[in-house]
Structure 1
C-alpha cells in the first residue's frame, strides 16, 4: 500500500458483541470518529447516539438487517429497512444477512427471490444507499458459496458481497474470497468481516480483491499501518 493510501476509508468500524457495555460503545464511537473511518456499526439501540455524535462528519452509519441469523421472513426484513431509513439519511449502509437455512436447504428460488426483493427495495427507496448481502461463508461449502455468488451476480442492486457476520464458527479466509472472486471477478465489491485484526490480514485480502472491511480492530490496524509507513 502506498504512503498516501487513505486506509481509514476501507473500514467500517464495528462493535457488535452482545455483552458490550454502553461505556465501551461511547468510547468506541469517539475513537472511530477521531480516526475518520468510512462507517460505524454499533448495537442498534445506540443508533440515535451515533447519529448525534457523527452529525458533522462524513462518516456513514451501518446497520445489520436480520442480524446475525438471517432467517426472518422477507417482509420482516423490509420493515427493519423501513425503520432505519426513517431515522436518518446518514444510515446509508444496509448489511443484510441472507437466509442461510434456505441456502443449506438448497432452496435457491427462495434465496434468489429474497435477495432480489430486498436489494431492489433498498435502491427503490434511495439509490444512494448501499446494499451488502452477508453470505456467511464460514457456514457454506465451496459449491454453496459459488451458487450464492452466481445468484447475486444477477442482482444489479447488490453493491457488496459480505463474507460474514463475525458470529460464525470461524474467520473469513483467503480461500473464501478466492472462491467469491472466481465467480464475480470485479463485477461485485467484496467486504470481509469476521476475524480481521492485523494489517497483514488486510494487505493479503486487498491483494485478493477485497475493497472494504468490517472490524472491531479498525483503529488499531490503522495505527499499525501508519507505524509501518513511518518506519520505511
Structure 2
C-alpha cells in the first residue's frame, strides 16, 4: 500500500468535499467538477442549491455523495427559510447539508436561538448529514467553543470552520480547538485555504474527517507523484 505522511489514497480522497460553490461557475464547469469528483473518487461534491439535481444526475452510479449549502454564506436567513432550503435540497437528492449558523445570534450570546435554528434544520434534513459552519473568522475562541456545544446539542453531525468567503478560512489552531470542544460522536470539517497535499495532511493530523477543496485534482495528483 502506498502512503504519504502515513495516509493512503483513500484517506485523502475520502476526506475531500469537492467544492462547486463559486457564484460564477457555469453549468459546464459544474459538469467538469462532477467529472473530477467521480474520477478521483472523493467523498462528495458540495454544490450550489440550484445545481443539486444536475449533480445527482451526473454522479448517479458513482461513490460520490451530493451535498449543498443552507443559509449560505451569511447564516442570517430566517429559520423557516433554512428549513425550506433543507427540505428542497433533500427533495432534489442532496444527502449532505452544510448549514451556516446565525453568526449574529452567536456573537450576541443568543445560544438558545442558535441551537433551535440548527435543530430545526437537522429535523428537516430527514437523516441527511448536517455540517454546521461556524465562520470562525468572526468569532472569539470562547464563541467557537460555545458554538461547538450548541451544534452538538442540536443534533448535527459536524462542526465546520468556514464558508470560504470570509476573510480567513481553516487554521490548525481552530481545528484542534473545535475537535477538543465536541464529543467523539461529532466530526470536524475544514474549509478555506487547504490547497496542497501537505495542507490536507496537516488538517487530517489535526483530527479532520472532511475538508472542502477546489484544488482536488492537484492535491490527489501530487499524492500519486509522492506516495511511497
Aligned to 2:100: 97
What is the RMSD computed on CA atoms of the aligned residues? 1.6
The within-5 A match list for 1:1-232 is 1-3=6-8, 5-88=10-93, 91-122=94-125, 125=126, 127=127, 129-155=128-154, 157-184=155-182, 186-229=184-227, 232=228
How many equivalent residue pairs? Answer: 223
Stretch deviating more after TM superposition (56-65 or 106-115): 106-115
Any idea what the Cα deviations from partners look like across 1:187-225, whole Å, max 9, x if unmatched? 410011111101111111111111111111122211111
- Taking the aligned partners of 1:52 and 1:115, their CA distance within structure 2 comes to 29
1:14, distance to aligned residue in structure 2 (A): 0.7
TM-score, structure 1 as length reference: 0.90
- Taking the aligned partners of 1:118 and 1:84, their CA distance within structure 2 comes to 11
> 5+ unaligned residues in a row in structure 2: which ranges?
1-5
- Taking the aligned partners of 1:3 and 1:143, their CA distance within structure 2 comes to 35
Deviation >3 Å, runs of 4+: 2-6
TM-score, structure 2 as length reference: 0.91
**Secondary structure at the counterpart of residue 184 of structure 1:** coil
> 5+ unaligned residues in a row in structure 1: which ranges?
none
